[in-house]
Amino acid sequence: MKIVAINGSPRKDFNSAKMLKSWVEGYKSVHPDVEVEYVNLYSLKFTGCTSCFSCKRINGKFYGQCPIKDDLLPLIPKLYEADAVAIASPIYFGDMNAYTKCLLERALFSHTTYRKNHESLAKKPVPVTVIYTMNCPKELAAQIGYLERFKEMEAYISNTFLTPCKRVCAYNTYQFLNYANYEMEMFTEEEKRLYRDNNFENDCKAAYDSAVETANHKEFPPFTFHLTVG
């Protein structure tokens, strides 16, 4: 049994990483001997999809595979072979950051077809949990459309990995170790620290509980991506 945990943040021990580690701990609480591959995306060298379409070429050498020879080449197959995957991303400008998006471009497009409803080439359902960490407060995130925006990529993840993905969010996160060092009029360190002290532990617990639920499932419900063609 193996799980893959991907930290899409440039910071290796801050909000996203801590949430991700809680998810791993939750999964291991059910399966203590599970093999864990922990990946810091910013430690890898890679690009986004180059639109070469090798993964779509009929009878092509790389049909259903991404052929780009960089650090994602060995990682992408592991996602589809895993028993569970978690991807943690900070939110930049209201969406996943670019590194996480690049990974998903490559991982999803290579296994997605242009058949009706984007039929997936994945060989088995793999439960994916997406963990979002953001400076935005919860009420504002909903008001300005963050959550609706997340649904778009989650639908492609769910379709390609053959089962609905889960979402865990940490809102209004603490951004700096010392707010006095940065220009900051919109927030105060006292308010941020108070929110963190009262909420971030619960956010990590939500990631933990989500992993426990995934680890305890024997079968995963199918996901159908409804797309009108023609």
Contact between residue 165 and residue 213 where contact means Cβ atoms under 8 Å apart:
no
Which pLDDT tens digit goes with each residue over 63-102? 999 999 999 999 999 999 999 999 999 999 999 999 999 9
Give percent of the chain above pLDDT 90.
83
Which DSSP string corresponds to 66-119?
A: ----STTTTHHHHHHHSSEEEEEEEEETTEE-HHHHHHHHHHHHHHB-SSGGG-
Q: Compute the chain's Rg from CA coordinates.
A: 18
Confidence of residue 227 (pLDDT cuts 50, 70, 90): low
Confidence of residue 230 (pLDDT cuts 50, 70, 90): very low
Which pLDDT tens digit goes with each residue over 10-26? 999 999 999 999 999 99
Q: Is 21 helix (H, G, I), strand (E, B) or coil?
A: helix
Assess whether pLDDT exceeds 60 at residue 145.
yes
* Residues in CB range of 8: below 8 A, 6 or more apart: 16, 41, 87, 88, 89, 90, 96, 97, 99, 100, 103
Q: Average the pLDDT over each of 117-131, 171-185, 210-224 and give the range with the smallest value.
A: 171-185
Task: Give the chain's mean pLDDT.
Answer: 93
